[in-house]
Amino acid sequence: MAIVVEIPSGNVSALVRRVSKLAERARTRGMPDVAIRVIDSFDRITEIPDHFARLNGNLRATRSVGMSFTRVELEGVDPWASEWKLIGSRTALDNIGDIPERMKIRKLTCDHCGEIRNRVRTYILEHRSKPGEVVEIGSSCLGDFLGSDPRVLEGLETLFRMMGELDKAADPYWRLGQPNEVLEESRLVLAVANRIIEETGFVGSARARATGETATWKSVANALHLSRNEIFSGPDSQVPMAADYLIADECIAWCKEHLDDPFVAGVAEAVERGLVGPKEVAVLTAGMATYRRNLQRADQAKKEAALAEGSVHVGLPGERIQRLVHVRRIIPYESSRWGSSRIVLMSDPDGNLLSWFTGADPGMQEGRCYEIRGTVKSHDRVRKGPAEGAAETKFTRVSILADLGIGDFGLSEENGLSDEESHALDQLINASPRL
């Protein structure tokens, strides 16, 4: 049996990847080979909900867009066991496949054992020689009802999951009334936010008020509004790509795994709520910045741990020396003795760890390289963090001889959410940003 469906072209690669994995699993369980192939592609005008009209309160507005579709064929799908064909499945949350209406509205029931109870899943089967004779069987009774090898039953389920993947890919999120429509609004905001942060960095509301810069969330909101204009061809930095949507999905998953953090929990709530105003755009944008910062810190930790293995002390205490350095981090420090200070963490081209404690503005930025002259204060060891125990040379009386710009001696940190901004964003959940 072959199934032909039309799906948005952007869904093709992910669909092929998922179906191929499922097909391999089905083969190992004695089911027929399944192949997926692309037949052709075409463009057509599609009516979609105008998600961002919610910003203005119009929850049912639509607009017409040109979309590229691909026709794909799934060959070899034959979900039969004995005289029964697997046509659908149910859980307490969803109905998948060709399920009779009478079954959709009743409680999860097993027609084999007669029990009505909360189940993980039930399966809907149709008789081969008696079309229209449909039964619902609980997952624990499926083997007894069909009398089949458990591996065959698992293979049947795998084939059905392939059909489910086709169904999801062919059912675009923009169809009115779909429960995942709100999620797609959030995905798009996160994808646009990732694209803009990738290109221009993140500017939080607090920093924007202090410096006069445009807060990133406003750039995201503006891009979403402009995208509704059919003649608008905005800057590339505002057009999300497939990779941005993948990062958006990863961000959503990460938020759901870290609900113990009040701010992250607020982002997860905004994802589920969808767009109802500028506040949600701001929270989602900040959430993407937080997620990117988390990724960068994890990567930074790995690099620092690797860098620490080769770090040695440089110079002699009291010696004034000149070095090229890469600024890894600048950490604000408050104490009753020193007041407001900064700890500048650096590395040199040889991979040696350096630091400078200063009560003044260091005149440096994270991620940039400088030529400096400084006095070796002491030879010490890193006391905590991924580089704990590594040789660290502490400097004092540092002067900057040249700003060499953004660079990396093997250790870098991208533009993301600063520590100060991360703390300040906790207030964002309960206070709408100023327009």
The CATH number for 398's domain is: 2.40.50
What phi and psi, each to the nearest 5 degrees, are found at residue 258?
-130, 45
Going by the DSSP 8-state scheme, the letter that residue 411 receives in this structure is -
Q: Which two tokens stand for residue 168?
A: 């999801």
Top-confidence residue, 386 or 404? 404
Q: Is the pLDDT of residue 280 over 90?
A: no
Q: What is the SS3 assignment for 126?
A: strand
Residue whose pair of structure tokens reads 């979900």 in the numeric block: 79
Same domain, 119 and 195: no
Q: How far is the C-alpha of 367 from the C-alpha of 354, rounded, in Å?
A: 15
pLDDT (tens digit per residue) in 231-276: 444 444 466 777 788 889 899 999 999 999 989 998 998 888 766 5
Is position 178 within any domain? no
CA-CA-CA-CA torsion sign (203, 206, 210, 212): positive
Residue 52: predicted pLDDT? 58
Residue 232: predicted pLDDT? 41
Is position 199 within any domain? yes
Same domain, 41 and 99: no
Of 29, 46, 75, the residue that ends a domain is: 75
Residue 345: predicted pLDDT? 92
Top-confidence residue, 297 or 54? 297
Cβ atoms 402, 371 nearer than 8 A: yes
CA-CA-CA-CA torsion sign (255, 121, 27, 6): negative
Residue 284: predicted pLDDT? 93
Top mean pLDDT of 12-21, 72-81, 214-223, 299-308 is at 214-223
Q: Is the pLDDT of residue 422 over 60?
A: no
pLDDT-above-70 percentage for the chain: 72
Residue 221: predicted pLDDT? 84
What phi and psi, each to the nearest 5 degrees, are found at residue 426?
-60, -30
E-state strands within 1-121: 2-8, 35-49, 62-75, 80-81, 84-90, 95-97
Is position 417 within any domain? no
Residue 434: predicted pLDDT? 35
Is position 288 within any domain? yes
Q: Is the pLDDT of residue 158 over 60?
A: yes
336-343 own/partner pairs: CB under 8 Å, 24+ apart:
none
Same domain, 194 and 296: yes
Residue 315: predicted pLDDT? 94
Same domain, 269 and 314: no
Top-confidence residue, 223 or 394? 394
Same domain, 190 and 285: yes
What phi and psi, each to the nearest 5 degrees, are found at residue 379?
-100, 125
Q: How far is the C-alpha of 82 from the C-alpha of 128, rounded, in Å?
A: 9
Going by the DSSP 8-state scheme, the letter that residue 359 receives in this structure is S
Same domain, 396 and 349: yes
- Cα-Cα-Cα-Cα torsion 336, 342, 343, 349, nearest 10 degrees, comes to -170
H/E stretch holding 386? none
Is position 349 within any domain? yes
Q: Is the pLDDT of residue 15 over 80?
A: no
Residue 373: predicted pLDDT? 95
Is position 152 within any domain? no
Same domain, 259 and 331: no
Q: How far is the C-alpha of 402 from the C-alpha of 372, rounded, in Å?
A: 7
CA-CA-CA-CA torsion sign (253, 257, 258, 259): positive
State the number of CA atoms in the 13 A half-sphere of 268 facing the CB. 14
Mean pLDDT across 180-202? 82
DSSP per residue, 220-265: HHHHHHHTTSTT----GGGS--HHHHHHHHHHHHHHHH-TTSHHHH
Specify the amino acid at residue 321.
I
A 10 A CB-CB count for 36 gives: 21
Same domain, 270 and 190: yes
Residue 176: predicted pLDDT? 39
Specify the amino acid at residue 297.
R
Residue 424: predicted pLDDT? 47
Same domain, 330 and 231: no
Q: Is the pLDDT of residue 173 over 60?
A: no
Closest CA to 224 of 195, 249, 264: 195
Residue 318: predicted pLDDT? 94
Same domain, 318 and 394: yes
Is position 397 within any domain? yes
Is position 102 within any domain? yes
Of 43, 75, 107, the residue that ends a domain is: 75
H/E stretch holding 319? none
Number of domains in the chain: 4
pLDDT (tens digit per residue) in 224-239: 766 554 444 444 446 6
Top mean pLDDT of 171-180, 267-276, 411-420 is at 267-276
Residue 370: predicted pLDDT? 94
Residue 58: predicted pLDDT? 64
Residue 335: predicted pLDDT? 72
Same domain, 66 and 132: no
Q: Is the pLDDT of residue 314 over 80?
A: yes
Same domain, 330 and 229: no
- Provide the residue range defining the domain that includes 248: 184-304+423-430
Angle between helices 242-257 and 181-200 (to 10 degrees): 110
